[in-house]
Amino acid sequence: MHARAGQISLDRAWLLRALLVLQSPRAVFSALRDDSEDGAQARQEPLLAITWLAGIAGVLVTPVARTLLDDPARDGLIVAVWAFIGGGIYAAAGYWLLGALLYGAARALGGQGSYRRARHVVGFAAAPVALSLLTVWPIGIAVFGGDLFRSGGSDSGNGGSVFGWAALGFVAWAVLLLAIGIRAVHGWTWPRSLATLVIAAAGLAALAGLAEAWTRLLH
């Protein structure tokens, strides 16, 4: 009974931390030093919510999303279903891949944390991108409507640029949180933490370059 009550309390604590990561990120990331099975289990639901919402926000800014309504047979419901499923795929890919890159970069600089903990740092750092889905996108849809998902719509002017920069600002916020997370979980200096982030980013860029080169070869 005691164990069950303790797990429920831990679950609630991590649900609260999922919200606090935007306000007090260092405290939340420091709590990730607890890499026990109970702690990791308690984080699963908030991590799933954050990463899935971030994945949806990510998939909505792809070139494919910008042309979904070019076909008159498609409507808003199709866009929503596509974004939900595609967002889940994006979330899973980003969570595991970025987690692996961060883990490898940290290990290269002497980090002792687990791959699971690296994934969790990535997951909580994605909170600003998840927030953009609940703030920037509703405003964008209210202003531009379906043109956000249509080639040459009203969002192609200055207003669309403002919308794009706003979304990019949330991504920059997420990168900042990732740097804070690296420093907090490892207890490192800023130079070492930023070096880890740079190495992970270089790995991601290299993979993106390989993917692009492979795509060109296929065509």
Q: How far apart are CA 161 and CA 170, in angstroms?
A: 15
Residue 167 confidence class, pLDDT cut points 50, 70, 90: confident
Pair 165, 93: CB distance under 8 Å = no
The average pLDDT across 134-156 equals 81
* Diameter over CA atoms, the chain: 61
Of 28-42, 79-93, 161-175, 181-195, the poorest mean pLDDT is in 161-175
**Strand (E) or helix (H) holding 185:** helix 158-186
3 pLDDT above the threshold of 80: no
CB under 8 Å, gap of 24 or more: what pairs does 200-209 form?
200/98, 200/101, 200/102, 200/104, 200/105, 203/101, 203/104, 203/105, 204/97, 204/98, 204/101, 207/97
Place of tokens 């600089």: 109
Q: How far apart are CA 173 and CA 181, in angstroms?
A: 12
Q: Tell me the pLDDT tens digit for each residue of 40-91.
A: 999 999 999 999 999 999 999 888 888 888 888 888 899 999 999 999 999 9
2 pLDDT above the threshold of 50: no
Number of domains in the chain: 1
The average pLDDT across 13-30 equals 94
Residue 9 confidence class, pLDDT cut points 50, 70, 90: confident
CA atoms within 13 A on the CB side of 116: 11
Q: Tell me the pLDDT tens digit for each residue of 180-193.
A: 999 999 999 999 99
Q: Is the pTM for the entire model greater than 0.95? A: no
Domain containing 194 equals 2-218
Average predicted confidence (pLDDT) for the chain: 89
Pair 55, 87: CB distance under 8 Å = yes
